Amino acid sequence: MAAVFDIDLETEEGSEGDGEPELSPADADLDLRTAGLEPAGHYEEVELSEASVNQSPERIGPHCFELLRVLGKGGYGKVFQVRKVQGTNVGKIFAMKVLRKAKIMRNAKDTAHTRAERSILEAVRHPFIVELVYAFQTRGKLYLILECLSGGELFMQLEREGIFMEDTACFYLGEITLALGHLHSQGIIYRDLKPENIMLSSQGHIKLTDFGLCKESIHEGSVTHTFCGTIEYMAPEILTRSGHNRAVDWWSLGALMYDMLTGSPPFTAENRKKTIDKILRAKLALPAYLTPDARDLLKKFLKRNPSQRLGGGPGDVADVQKHPFFRHINWEDLLARQVDPPFRPCLQSEEDVSQFDTRFTRQTPVDSPDDMSLSDSANQAFLGFTYVAPSVLEGIKEGFSFQPKLRSPRRLNSSPRTPISPLKFSPFEGFRASAGPAESMELPPPPPPPPVSSAPLPIRTPTGKKSKKGRGRSGR
């Protein structure tokens, strides 16, 4: 709402007798003009509006970016590699995610999760969480400009190595622990931790992406009941819909740790129903080659009772950090990214897209015309979407490297990854080869039809290294 103010420069009542000498009207006018102000009676009317008050250093829009590559596409839009060509950060490479409003608006949950993720990305700043740099919209589309992480998915690194040695797993698990702890301190639970949602920067440090399933305002004592996530990493209390809180993230970290050290999540089967049965009832099998500290941490993460789970109590992340498995980690150095990563991506330049599927990167990058717009009332759902990161406003943005993501869900020999969720609107995860929203499933679910096997997308191996096989994935 616009308003017009008259700014009266006359002296306030009650200011007399303060010991200051009185100025004549002519002297006062002269002082005001010297200060660059108009004297009373010659004021300017200023309309207060977004254009006159919220004046950022630049007006951000699609015209500010040059399309370089297609990084992925799906039913809701595309992800591009782009270069900034106007304003601040000219020449810098970003990932631009474009979503069609009309498709999101078809489902109220999709709209709500879109808004929630956008809000979380703005609110959260952490070395191990993807950074939102800009957000803007046109009549028919939403645009997210995110930092670029050219190191690819942690999943692909797991594919190359087969399994991680414990010191390598400890590094990644430590950085993820700090990211989860920060989210929890903000009352946010993540709920979809898996290798596909963890990206690597050009330096080899992790970044959590895909915040479409996050839940806000979950503090100590609060619970929520949404059935969502990826089955193989979902905590039992989500599956039983008994109410869950931040302890679910520590279960998922345990499942991820097990995956890193053994080659697959702890509970898998030939279909979703049997996988759920195993998560709820099966005994945890631990390979003999794991060290006592690793075995103990896995047992404590994978407690079915969330109140007995490591991290499930009031101490949250602090209790996790104290475990002997992490005894060699200096947490302050790790947070400051002063610990050398075990793997550094082999990249030729900031524009290197060798970690992305060539089916997309070979396409001509074209952002389709904005030919469909919503009514004014429908557009109310996206009020406040526009955003410019404070670091950009201050002109001191850190030079992170590139990170978009678009791959098919990871596959096991016996059980396809089964994301269960409302729309997962994420910096890089949400675009898949198939169109349409993610499926929802009731518990217990009906057995699905046999899935079509999907091979992991190709990745260029760093020079001098040969990809290892043997993680038990199909289509290898």
CA atoms within 13 A on the CB side of 125: 7
- Tell me whether residue 76 is annotated as binding: yes
Dihedral (CA of 232, 124, 380, 56) sign: negative
User: Around Cβ 283, how many Cβ atoms within 10 Å?
Assistant: 6
- Tell me whether residue 109 is annotated as binding: no
What is residue 443's DSSP assignment?
A: S
CA distances from 177 to 17, 39, 240, 406 (A): 63, 60, 25, 24
CA 332 to chain centre: 23
Q: Nearest CA to 202 among 419, 399, 415?
A: 399
Residue 466, burial from CB neighbour count under 10 angstroms (0-12, 13-18, 19+): exposed
Q: Is 352 a catalytic residue?
A: no
- For the packed helices 292-301 and 247-262, what is the interaxial angle rounded to 10 degrees? 140
- Tell me whether residue 72 is annotated as binding: yes
Cβ partners under 8 Å of residue 171, min gap 6: 334, 339, 341, 342
- Tell me whether residue 97 is annotated as binding: yes
- End-to-end CA distance of the chain, in Å? 59
What is residue 33's DSSP assignment?
A: H
For 91-116, give one letter per residue: b (16+ CB within 10 A) or e.
ebbbbbbbbbbebbbeeeebbebbbb
- Tell me whether residue 78 is annotated as binding: yes
Q: Nearest CA to 183 among 236, 129, 117, 237?
A: 129
Cβ partners under 8 Å of residue 410, min gap 6: 155, 194, 195, 196, 417, 456, 473
CA distances from 347 to 138, 147, 256, 462 (A): 34, 16, 26, 8
- Tell me whether residue 243 is annotated as binding: no
For residue 145, give the H/E element and its range: strand 141-147
- Tell me whether residue 75 is annotated as binding: yes
Instruction: Say which of 29, 192, 210, 357 is annotated catalytic.
Output: 192
Catalytic residue ranges = 192
Q: Which residues are annotated as a binding site for ATP?
A: 71-79, 97
